[in-house]
Amino acid sequence: MSASPRQFSIAVFDQIARLGKAVASPQRLRLLEVLSQGPRTVETLAAEIGLSVANASQHLQILRAARLLQTEKAGLHVTYSLADPLVVDLLGLLRRLAERRLTELDAIVRDFFADRSDMEPVDLDTLCTRAHRGEVSVIDVRPTAEFAAGHIPGALSVPLAELDRRLAELPKDREIVAYCRGPYCVMAVQAVEALRARGFRARRCDSSIHDWRSRGLSVAVGGSE
């Protein structure tokens, strides 16, 4: 016997609610953000997020059960990746809705930047124009694997952990713009603070490679610059 209209509606929204339940955790959202930059093993994810391997694995299993992630096993290691490009869109929509509706989020951001009033970011349009004119040097301070998966054309890969030892590669005669994973990733903030302390003119861009791609702009892959 076929379901009634009401039973059908409940069954449909019950399935959709699986996605909401899966992302209803700050740690799982952080895991998805990192995985939006490229595949990772459980061990690498745990280290990046600051969780135990067992805890990270539990969160990943929940995301996989909701079909948001897929896995590939090589020997003893399991690599996780996003199951669909729409997961990136979901993260972006959640972020933008939170920015529009949650005053608490705005307060957290304002508090973090209270002592960083000179950290006004370069918007994506301005960065695109100035980079095209050769007025700025763009550095990508994400890990090298993320850079290789996709980066702004012409950007130099300078992971935050390598910044100090690679200062000689950076120009002092023009401004440096650092970018990372997006507005709530602080790697670019830390890079700009470190560069300014060493006499460089530096600013941050708070857009991600996904924002760049969504504008229809070309994305480079592989290489170091």
Q: Where are the domains of the chain?
A: 5-88, 116-214
Query: Among residues 32, 40, 44, which one has the least CA distance to residue 86?
Result: 32
Multiple choice CATH, 5-88, 1.20.120.1200, 3.10.620.30, 1.10.10.10, 3.40.640.10: 1.10.10.10
Multiple choice CATH, 116-214, 1.10.510.10, 3.40.1440.10, 3.40.250.10, 3.40.50.300: 3.40.250.10
Q: Assess whether 180 carries a catalytic annotation.
A: yes
Calculate helix-pair angle for 42-49, 53-65, nearest 10 degrees: 110
**Residue numbers of the chain with a pLDDT score lower than 50:** none
Write out pLDDT tens, residues 152-168. Answer: 999 999 999 999 999 99
Q: Tokens 């602080």 map to which residue?
A: 186
- Residue ranges of E strands in the chain: 40-41, 69-74, 77-82, 136-140, 156-157, 175-179, 202-205
Q: Which of 128, 180, 185, 205 is catalytic?
A: 180
Task: Say what the pLDDT of residue 1 is.
Answer: 66
Task: Say what the pLDDT of residue 132 is.
Answer: 84
Which pair of tokens denotes residue 214?
């969504």
